[in-house]
């Protein structure tokens, strides 16, 4: 959510930003907020004036009572009652106007950074840099689900019976490899100075509204029937929510956390070969990083964070590239975002394995997260980034380490987490 001062002082900038995001249907909201804000401020001035008048009259009554002029004081008391009634009416009007303004402000997208490329959707995202040499072996690489099944590591048929489409059982060494990657991702970030955290996997609706747009919520979140609880789609939701309504010490900034959680997403409209396997599922596990910092430090942290994800995948010898997300591909709260994509030697193209975003003070404003500085309290900047989302990251590892004999080579960084095992191969028995 943007600062309403922007609409008061530079509504053209807000409208231009909406156009850059190809959301022209929201332009009318800016004018509506401006008009409602004018009415709100007029209402507040009138209420403040009446409060001042009430104080004057109260002082006058006190003076008259001390002078023994009780009859005159009693007559004036009626004026106090009338003033109070007007103030109550204005306060109710203020409350209604505040609610109407907030409802519209929640729909107006955050101001994107000037460096964000302008484009309608993810097809216009811009490649920034490649890391590692993408390779295609001379032998054929099967579909990842077929590789896992051949190694007795995947059972989607049983999951279909228990839970339906979009769920899976990981088994044996494939399940162990999946866990090894997550454990390595955890330790990788701890070594970068981040504090490890396991957050709640369900959050209240006001936290959901604080961390994401309504459109995102409807597309992603599972709600617990009959309760004010949602299953998280990523641990960023509960990690940012941890600081709701808090005033942080400036000396504590930056706060750098890395969190593990299962994630639950509706993933509506998933179709095709890639969705048949583990690429697009309703349940997965994730190691995330979250940073809260001063606004002026946000882009320094943004660049550090996406590089951590690149370094993580390169430490597993997986080629990756970074894509700058264009304006139309940015969620409404984001200032700037980039995707990290891993190389698929089977498809001979890259696919998304992580996303890094800075949201400015949008989430902090919605959730009232401030820091106490020498010049007073101020909103902090929030950032989030994927270290590893698995099984999507698992797919990249399997494809890039698949051997001609059907085995999977285990990168050296993961071998300690696999009991020293160097490869996963078919059970000869």
- Mean pLDDT, residues 274-293 taken together: 89
Question: What's the pLDDT at 113?
Answer: 97
**Residue 164: left (phi > 0), alpha (psi -120 to 50), or beta?**
left
Question: What's the pLDDT at 428?
Answer: 59
Look up the pTM and report it. Answer: 0.90
Lowest mean pLDDT of 62-66, 211-215, 266-270, 383-387, name the range: 266-270
The answer, yes or no, to whether residue 72 has pLDDT greater than 90, is no
Tokens of 196: 């490890």
The answer, yes or no, to whether residue 274 has pLDDT greater than 70, is no
The answer, yes or no, to whether residue 208 has pLDDT greater than 50, is yes
**Domain definitions of the chain by residue range:** 4-105, 122-424
By DSSP bridging, strand 370-373 and strand 247-249 are: parallel
The answer, yes or no, to whether residue 31 has pLDDT greater than 90, is yes
The answer, yes or no, to whether residue 325 has pLDDT greater than 70, is yes
Rg of the chain on CA atoms, in Å: 28
pLDDT tens per residue across span 97-152:
999 999 999 999 999 999 999 999 999 999 999 999 999 999 999 999 999 999 99
Q: Burial code of 283-320, b = ≥16 C-beta within 10 A, e = fewer?
A: bbbbbbbbbbbbeeebbebbebbbebbbebbeebebbb
Compute the distance between CA of residue 378 and CA of residue 85 in angstroms, rounded to an integer: 36
Are 4-105 and 122-424 in the same CATH fold?
Answer: no
The answer, yes or no, to whether residue 429 has pLDDT greater than 70, is no
- Specify the CATH number for 4-105; select among 3.40.50.150, 3.90.400.10, 1.10.287.40, 3.90.78.10: 1.10.287.40
pLDDT band at 275 (very low <50, low <70, confident <90, very high): low
Question: What's the pLDDT at 121?
Answer: 95
pLDDT tens per residue across span 168-194:
999 999 999 999 999 999 999 999 999
Q: Specify whether the CB–CB gap between 232 and 241 falls below 8 A.
A: no
Question: What's the pLDDT at 63?
Answer: 77
Q: Burial code of 16-32, b = ≥16 C-beta within 10 A, e = fewer?
A: ebbebbebeebeebbee
- Mean pLDDT, residues 217-241 taken together: 93
Question: What's the pLDDT at 219?
Answer: 81
The answer, yes or no, to whether residue 273 has pLDDT greater than 50, is no
Provide the CATH number for the domain formed by 122-424 in this structure. 3.30.930.10
- Mean pLDDT, residues 357-372 taken together: 97
- Mean pLDDT, residues 237-260 taken together: 97
Sign of CA dihedral 108, 23, 271, 142: negative
Percentage of the chain surpassing pLDDT 70?
Answer: 97
Lowest mean pLDDT of 46-55, 96-105, 384-393, name the range: 46-55
- Mean pLDDT, residues 283-300 taken together: 97
Question: What's the pLDDT at 131?
Answer: 98
Question: What's the pLDDT at 271?
Answer: 47
């Amino acid at each position: 959510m943007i600062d309403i001062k922007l609409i008061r002082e530079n509504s053209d900038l807000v409208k231009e930003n909406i156009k850059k995001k190809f959301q022209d249907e929201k332009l009318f909201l800016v004018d509506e907020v401006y008009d409602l804000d004018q009415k709100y401020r007029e209402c507040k001035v009138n209420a403040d004036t009446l409060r001042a008048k009430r104080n004057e009259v109260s002082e006058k009554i006190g003076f008259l009572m001390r002078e023994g002029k009780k009859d005159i004081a009693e007559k004036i008391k009626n004026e106090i009652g009338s003033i109070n009634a007007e103030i109550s009416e204005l306060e109710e009007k203020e409350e209604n106007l505040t609610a109407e303004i907030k409802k519209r402000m929640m729909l107006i997208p955050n101001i994107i950074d000037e460096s964000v490329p302008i484009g309608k959707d993810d097809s216009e995202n811009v490649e920034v840099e490649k890391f590692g040499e993408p390779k295609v072996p001379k032998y054929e690489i099967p579909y990842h689900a077929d590789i896992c099944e051949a190694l007795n590591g995947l059972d989607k048929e049983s999951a279909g019976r228990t839970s339906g489409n979009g769920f899976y059982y990981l088994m044996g060494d494939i399940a162990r490899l999946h866990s090894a990657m997550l454990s390595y991702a955890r330790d990788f970030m701890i070594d970068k100075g981040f504090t490890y955290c396991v957050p709640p996997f369900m959050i209240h609706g006001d936290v959901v509204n604080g961390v994401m747009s309504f459109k995102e919520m409807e597309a992603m979140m599972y709600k617990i029937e009959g309760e004010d609880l949602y299953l998280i789609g990523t641990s960023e939701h509960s990690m940012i929510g941890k600081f709701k309504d808090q005033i942080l010490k400036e000396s504590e900034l930056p706060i750098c956390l890395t969190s593990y959680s299962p994630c639950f997403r509706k993933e509506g409209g998933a179709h095709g070969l890639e969705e048949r396997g583990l690429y697009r599922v309703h349940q997965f596990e994730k190691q995330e990083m979250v940073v809260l910092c001063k606004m002026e430090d946000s882009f320094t942290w943004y660049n550090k964070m996406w590089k951590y994800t690149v370094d993580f995948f390169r430490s597993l010898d997986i080629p990756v590239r970074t894509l700058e997300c264009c304006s139309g591909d940015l969620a409404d709260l984001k200032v700037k975002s980039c995707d990290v994509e891993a190389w698929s030697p089977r498809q001979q193209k890259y696919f998304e394995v992580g996303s890094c975003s800075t949201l400015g003070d949008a989430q902090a404003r919605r959730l009232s997260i401030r820091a106490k500085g020498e010049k007073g309290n101020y909103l902090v900047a929030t950032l989030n980034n994927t270290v590893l989302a698995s099984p999507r990251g698992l797919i990249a590892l399997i494809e890039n380490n698949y051997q001609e004999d059907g085995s999977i080579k285990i990168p050296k960084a993961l071998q300690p987490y696999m009991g020293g095992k160097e490869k996963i191969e078919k059970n000869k028995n």
